[in-house]
Amino acid sequence: MDTDAPIEEIPGENKIASWRIIVRNTAYILGTLFIFLFALDLMISSLQQLGANAADTILMATSNPFTALFIGLLVTAIIQSSSATTSMVVALVASGALSLQGAVPIIMGANIGTTITSTIVSLGFITKKKEFKRAVTAGTYHDFFNILTVLILFPLEYYYGFLSGMSQQLAATFFDPVTTGSVGKVSFLGSSLGSMIDQLVALIGNGVVLVLLSFSLLFGSILLFRRMISNMLGLRTQERVKQYFFKSPVQSFGWGLLITAAIRSSTITTSLVVPLVAKKVVRLKGVVPFILGANIGTTITAFIASMSNSNIAISIAISHFLFNFIGVLIFTLIPYVRTIPVKLAKGLGALTMKYRLAGFLYILLTFFFIPFSLIYLNKNAVDVVELTYEKQNKSATTTYKVICKTFRNHALTSWTVYDRDNGDPSQMMSVYRRANVLMINNELFELNQPGFCRDGEDASGKYSMCIREVQPHLVLSDEISADSVYVFEKTYHDSSTQVLYISSVENLLLKKSNVSADSTVAESHILRHIARM
């Protein structure tokens, strides 16, 4: 018998081994996805466990859109993961600690903060002058793309609620959300596993410990998922990347989108192209479509985090997608504009070639010094007022509070209604005032002459709303009075009416009464106390 003869491979064994690898990898992917969603559910429950004080702290910190923008930038720059930041934002909104309008600027900031990694990678070539120039150019293109997109879209969001309004409209149109304004218990894993989380929360009992645990699980699952998918795709081989990913702009864009969606990290994919450009394996022009595709692909994390199909969660995911998608359209379709981030990146690359410390100064200024400075300068740009309302009906009289945030030199105000029993946020509303048009939670009030009427429809049905009178001065109590109060009367088809007293000076609802068809007051809400915070 010839012992040196080659052993003949058995095809069946190879197939079995391949299937085992596929099953194992699928199990790993599903496992990390389960941990990710479990961490989101736990974070929501943890934030609710902390109660109203924690919610007030977060609301105050993010009440100014400028502050929220730079909080998103700083947090993402520190943890170097926009996926973790956007996931936490979804959890914060789902827990009622953050409104959609407060979340959008954080997501914008996260898109800038995530670019720090590719910039840091470029500094690794500092010892080689020409390679360093090319590396910085490639590493900072993503920075300038996101910074310029923020400069374009942030003012539109700040003054007109562009992204938040559009995302809410798209969520309501295409996803048939369960709820629009209320904030309740959102679960990503369903009621059965949700009960397991409730038991864990009850067992630990400490909100701070639960938040730290949920964040560790969330961040760890994202890192594990990235490493696993990266190894499966073989992204560590530069020649393979060049061969498959950069043959044409369309192919480069598609691969950037798909790989980033799979890895759930634009940080890795954009950092990957820095050494390729530095070593002249690929030109900057060839990697730009890849980076733009990666910018779209990274939005998949927010969509995974919004699997509960709640309006708020899906709206955040859509906002994240719209921000990146509109940026890609602007810097792809407009000939002159699309060259601006390339020119800025090349200019910084040339500067770092001449002055090596320019790259370090750029990172310190862009990601740390400027955000901290602007947060400090804008800390008093919002007025916060606590309103206490008295609710009266046939069975009882109760009170509840509303936190009203008014942004200076801004047409937008936000109201957060807190539950009277546990102090948790139960509803979030936006108030928008422009000239004689007042919008309260998407309901239109036209501040016109007495007798002016219009038809409309709300959750209670179709109605006709008229301005009954305009009171020059209204006194509700010894401590509360208001000038120029409009009295609106809504008459429904069943003959029931709703009377609303709205201050046109403060843009506040002072009093609301629901009157049944037999002229009895079924329920009334009256403002009883105002406290400046």
User: DSSP string spanning 26-67?
Assistant: HHHHHHHHHHHHHHHHHHHHHHHHH-HHHHHHHHHHTSSHHH
Task: Convert 4-30 into a string of H (helix), E (strand) and C (coil).
Answer: CCCCCCCHHHHHHHHHHHHHHHHHHHH
Mean pLDDT, all residues of the chain = 77
pLDDT at position 185: 45
Q: Does 209 reside within a domain?
A: no
Q: Does 351 reside within a domain?
A: yes
Give the residue-averaged pLDDT of 446-463: 88
Q: Does 231 reside within a domain?
A: no
In this structure, the answer to whether residues 293 and 180 fall within a common structural domain is: yes
In this structure, the answer to whether residues 318 and 335 fall within a common structural domain is: yes
Least confident of 96-105, 220-229, 461-470, 472-481: 220-229
CA-to-CA distance for 480 and 471, rounded, in angstroms? Answer: 15
Q: Does 1 reside within a domain?
A: no
382-393 and 397-407 strand pairing: antiparallel
Domain boundary among 328, 355, 377: 377
Least confident of 379-383, 470-474, 516-520: 379-383
In this structure, the answer to whether residues 459 and 515 fall within a common structural domain is: yes
CA-to-CA distance for 96 and 409, rounded, in angstroms? Answer: 26
Give the count of beta carbons closer than 10 Å to the beta carbon of residue 209. 12
In this structure, the answer to whether residues 371 and 387 fall within a common structural domain is: no
Structure confidence by residue, pLDDT tens digits, 332-375: 988 888 899 999 999 998 898 888 788 888 888 888 888 878 77
Q: What percent of the chain has a predicted confidence (pLDDT) above 90?
A: 16
Highest mean pLDDT among 23-27, 255-259, 264-268: 255-259
Whether the per-residue pLDDT at 238 is higher than 70: the answer is no
In this structure, the answer to whether residues 407 and 302 fall within a common structural domain is: no
pLDDT at position 308: 54
In this structure, the answer to whether residues 143 and 268 fall within a common structural domain is: yes
CA-to-CA distance for 303 and 171, rounded, in angstroms? Answer: 12
Whether the per-residue pLDDT at 9 is higher than 80: the answer is no
In this structure, the answer to whether residues 448 and 463 fall within a common structural domain is: yes
Sign of CA dihedral 301, 302, 305, 309: negative
pLDDT at position 79: 67
Show the tokens assigned to 61: 């910190």
In this structure, the answer to whether residues 479 and 337 fall within a common structural domain is: no
Least confident of 123-127, 263-267, 358-362: 263-267
In this structure, the answer to whether residues 340 and 426 fall within a common structural domain is: no
Q: How confident is the model at residue 108 (pLDDT cuts 50, 70, 90)?
A: very high
In this structure, the answer to whether residues 498 and 352 fall within a common structural domain is: no
Q: Does 122 reside within a domain?
A: yes
Domain boundary among 327, 345, 377: 377
Whether the per-residue pLDDT at 499 is higher than 90: the answer is yes
Whether the per-residue pLDDT at 48 is higher than 60: the answer is no
Give the count of beta carbons closer than 10 Å to the beta carbon of residue 111. 28
* Domain housing 98: 64-184+237-377
**What is the CATH number for 457?**
2.50.20
Domain boundary among 362, 377, 392: 377
Q: Does 210 reside within a domain?
A: no
Exposed, middle or buried by CB within 10 Å (0-12, 13-18, 19+), for 459? Answer: exposed
Q: Does 104 reside within a domain?
A: yes
Q: Does 228 reside within a domain?
A: no
Q: How confident is the model at residue 183 (pLDDT cuts 50, 70, 90)?
A: very low
Token pair 């926009």 is found at 82
In this structure, the answer to whether residues 393 and 369 fall within a common structural domain is: no
Q: What's the domain count of the chain?
A: 2
CA-to-CA distance for 16 and 12, rounded, in angstroms? Answer: 6
Q: Which residues contact 146 (CB under 8 A, 6 or more apart)?
A: 111, 112, 115, 295, 327
pLDDT at position 424: 52
Distances 298 to 153, 231, 284 between C-alpha atoms, Å: 19, 18, 21
